[in-house]
């Protein structure tokens, strides 16, 4: 099993969610996060005062799935989350040792 984590621009979330549902992804976890990468934040002006915004609002989407589905998920994320501008985000794919459904005690693939 694999975990696919994507850090995205918040306004792309609905489009990404619909695209993942279209390829059969039925469950995901979404968390509001803040951070920065190469862009190192940006400057804003509020009531005439300029200030530095170090952490940019993002969303982190997580999907745990079978290894065979990872390429389709990554391709879908790349197509739908890309704006072509700085700050589009990142995708991380990591291994998951085990998954256990709390309600039934099922583990592994059956717990997904």
Number of domains in the chain: 1
Q: Tell which residue, 95, 79, 108, has the closest CA to residue 4.
A: 95
- CATH code where residue 15 lies: 3.30.70.120
> What is the pTM (predicted TM-score) of this model?
0.84
By residue range, what is the domain housing residue 82? 2-111
List the single range of 10-24, 36-50, 87-101 with lowest mean pLDDT.
36-50
Q: CA-CA distance, 12 to 16, in Å (whole number)?
A: 6
Question: Any residues with CB less than 8 A from the CB of 101 and at least 6 apart, and which?
Answer: 107, 110, 111
Task: Give the tens place of pLDDT for each residue, 48-97.
Answer: 787 777 788 999 999 999 999 999 999 999 999 999 988 899 999 999 99
Q: Among 7-16, 42-51, 55-64, 95-104, whose mean pLDDT is lowest?
A: 42-51
């Amino acid at each position: 099993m694999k975990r696919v984590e994507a850090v995205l621009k918040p306004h792309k979330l609905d489009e990404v969610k619909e695209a993942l549902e279209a390829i059969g992804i039925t469950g995901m976890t979404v968390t509001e996060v803040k951070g920065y990468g190469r862009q190192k934040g940006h400057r804003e002006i509020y009531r005439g005062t300029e200030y530095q915004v170090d952490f940019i609002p993002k969303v982190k989407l997580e999907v745990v799935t079978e290894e065979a589905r990872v390429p389709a998920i990554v391709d879908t994320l790349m197509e739908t989350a890309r704006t072509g501008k700085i700050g589009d985000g990142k995708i991380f794919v990591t291994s998951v040792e085990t998954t256990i459904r709390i309600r039934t005690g099922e583990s592994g693939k059956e717990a997904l």
